Amino acid sequence: MTKNTKANQTVYSRSGRPRFDFRVLTRLLKQLFGYFPVLMPLTVFCIIFSAIAAAVPAIFLQDVTSVIEKWQGGWEEAAAVIVPKVLLLIGLYVLSITTITVETQLMAYITQGFLCKMRRTMFNGMQNLPIRYFDTRRHGDIMSHYTNDIDTLRQLVSQGLPTLIRASVIVVSVFFIMLYYSVWLTAIVVFGVLFMMLVSGKVGGGSAKYFVRMQNSIARQEGFAQETMNGQKVVKVFCHESACEEDFEKLNSELYDNGRRAHAYANVLGPIIQNIGNVLYVLLAILGGIFIISGLPNVSISGNAFSVSIIVAFLNMTKQFTGNINQMSQQINAVVMAAAGAKRVFDLMDEAPESDDGYVTLVDAEISENGEIREAARHTGMWAWKHPHSADGTVTYTPLKGDVCLNDVDFAYEEGKPVLHNVSVYAKPGQKVAFVGATGAGKTTITNLINRFYDIADGKIRYDGININKIKKSDLRRSLGIVLQDTNLFTGTVMDNIRYGKLDATDEECVNAAKLANAHDFITRLPDGYDTMLTSNGANLSQGQRQLISIARAAVADPPVMILDEATSSIDTRTEAIVQRGMDRLMHGRTVFVIAHRLSTVKNSDVIMVLEHGRIIERGSHEELIAQKGQYYSLYTGAFELE
């Protein structure tokens, strides 16, 4: 599997820090507000209200302290001023608690809803990606988008974003309140905060760099772990456990190193900022006392002179101010990780979908009274290609027969490295065409081009006389049945896996397809028959049984063209004889392309193509090729002698 590094690439500045892309964060917020255009503004309002409510008590503290400072009468006189303020403060706190409760409930709903929509968008988009995307990426790395990357978004939406909004509002509110009481003391706090931001930038930058690296390390480790699990039998057969452990240890050590450094920076940032805040608190207390004793005139919007009530309130506000600055700095890592995760998620979402310019569709058809083919309103068992002509506005219908022709086809997976050269194949309806040749000769590539998993570089492929580029891909593939060498069974019952070939197939149709593939006998011997649950790609079945189910799955689709890519390679000779009889019934009346290494399975083919290095070097029936005594003769006689 070729590893793709582009999707995991992180851009770094010359200083070595990750270059933060605000466009990613902006797009993320647009998605969030776009999904919840009413609930998100309501939630933000609740956060802002509760934040302002948290900043207002500083004003009450100054007023109460001022009353106590100047208090010379009895309690009744002071109570007339203090009690209303306390009651108002209690009411404000009750409202704050209410808004916080509403906010937390809304955020829980919004967070999970947002992640649900993002996963759905990713998965739905992934279904439209070309096969090339999956062939060039580790599957574990792709899975990491749905687990690790999405989790970073959860942390941002549920924790980071509310904390940032709340802390920002409190900082701004407290700043203006401080400015209202004293410009001098506010200036001291601002200088202290600038020093905090300088330290936060230095430490937080290193933390962000390693958090991004940790994100990519997790993706690589998950990709390796999944590959190892999928190939566990191969690992054990070749006693490769120790080598796997060493490879995993390298990835694990890389993840450990990046994670340790990231969290070391993150863990030290909080105490540093907090202690700077403590020093600032003490400094303000000392300077405030000096200002009061020296009688330094206060510059403020309120016009109040320096007093104990102002200094006490200021000290409380300083704690709030620096504390929330600290909270904001600690969210930098969550924002950076979310930006890295969001970039990977958006990279997946932005992958160009499989192009499809086809406009010819497959429709149910019937013969009209005057003998013409027309589209039917119900399923008739007859299919036709519906071909609209934009030039004159007419529509023609071509019967689906399974006539496949490749004319001078060239193809390369990578530019400059051709795989097929001037390949021409003519398969008439009902013919059985076999491809033989050494591994890498291009046999499977031809079938991948017929169903347009890949598009040709040059030449033409026609299906019932229609250029396949004009046929809509979904309709083209619906007319093709394919049985691969590597079977893929899904979690579900045996019946579900057979029905995968035709989702609206009845139980009777599935059973008939199983009988056609000679799979019915062994299925009925399973513990629950057709209702037997299959898991882990049918691990509770033999390789041959899994292949029989995949053949039945193709049979239930009842396509006019069948592609058998080493369909019997995993079946023993005795089982192959049983399957071959079912395959012969399955292939009857259909155009069939067969890829096989066992030449005994292609002897009855109408035409056999011998490929070598992407070129067809021989073609003809079995008898004709034997008579030529060329490459096929050498392959066949060699195989016969081995048998």
Residue 348: both structure tokens together: 């997946």
**Alpha helix (H) ranges present in 295-378?**
308-350
Check residue 391 and give its pLDDT: 82
Contact 43, 168 (CB under 8 A): no
Secondary structure (3-state) at 388: strand
Check residue 385 and give its pLDDT: 92
Q: How far apart are CA 625 and CA 621, in angstroms?
A: 6
Contact 327, 167 (CB under 8 A): yes
In this prediction, what percent of the chain has a pLDDT beyond 70?
Answer: 86
Q: What DSSP element (H or E) covers 467? A: strand 466-467
Query: pLDDT class for 13, splitting at 50, 70, 90?
Result: very low
In terms of average pLDDT, the best of 176-185, 216-225, 608-617 is 608-617
User: What single DSSP character describes residue 149?
Assistant: I
Check residue 575 and give its pLDDT: 65
Residues 6+ apart with CB under 8 A from 554: 481, 482, 483, 501, 562, 586
Q: How far apart are CA 590 and CA 599, in angstroms?
A: 21
Q: What Cα–Cα distance (Å) separates residue 599 from each residue in 426, 472, 640?
A: 21, 35, 9
Check residue 568 and give its pLDDT: 66
Contact 505, 516 (CB under 8 A): no
Check residue 467 and give its pLDDT: 93
| Per-residue pLDDT tens over the stretch 280-336 | 888 888 888 888 888 778 777 766 777 777 777 778 888 888 888 878 877 777 787
Q: To which residue do tokens 């200021």 refer?
A: 314
Check residue 42 and give its pLDDT: 92
| Cβ-based neighbour number of residue 214 at 10 Å | 23
Secondary structure (3-state) at 597: coil
Check residue 460 and give its pLDDT: 92
Q: Does residue 65 have a pLDDT over 60? A: yes
Task: Of 169, 192, 179, 196, give the one whose Cα is nearest residue 314.
Answer: 179
Q: Does residue 583 have a pLDDT over 60? A: yes
Q: How far apart are CA 593 and CA 591, in angstroms?
A: 7
Check residue 12 and give its pLDDT: 42
- Greatest Cα pair distance, the chain, in angstroms, is 126
Q: Does residue 642 have a pLDDT over 60? A: no
Q: How far apart are CA 314 and CA 308, in angstroms?
A: 10
Domains of the chain, with CATH numbers? Answer: 22-350 (1.20.1560.10), 361-399 (no CATH), 404-642 (3.40.50.300)
Check residue 11 and give its pLDDT: 43
Q: Does residue 71 have a pLDDT over 70? A: no
Q: Listing from the earlier edge strand, what are the strands of the sheet with 395-399?
A: 373-375, 361-367, 383-388, 395-399
Tell me the pairing of strands 492-493 and 533-534.
antiparallel
Q: To which residue do tokens 């990613």 refer?
A: 24
Q: What DSSP element (H or E) covers 620? A: strand 615-620
Q: How far apart are CA 593 and CA 482, in angstroms?
A: 9
Q: Which residues of 37-46 are buried (b: 16+ CB within 10 A; e: fewer)?
A: eeebeebbeb
Residues 6+ apart with CB under 8 A from 358: 469, 470, 471, 472, 473, 475, 476
Query: pLDDT class for 530, splitting at 50, 70, 90?
Result: very high
Contact 315, 281 (CB under 8 A): yes
Q: How far apart are CA 110 and CA 132, in angstroms?
A: 35
Secondary structure (3-state) at 16: coil
| Per-residue pLDDT tens over the stretch 504-516 | 889 999 998 888 8
In terms of average pLDDT, the best of 127-131, 225-229, 576-580 is 127-131
Q: How far apart are CA 216 and CA 340, in angstroms?
A: 9
| Per-residue pLDDT tens over the stretch 417-450 | 888 999 999 988 888 898 988 878 888 888 889 9
Q: To which residue do tokens 């060493």 refer?
A: 246
In terms of average pLDDT, the best of 84-98, 397-411, 574-588 is 397-411
pTM of the model: 0.72
In 341-443, the DSSP E strands lie at 361-367, 373-375, 383-388, 395-399, 404-414, 417-427, 432-437
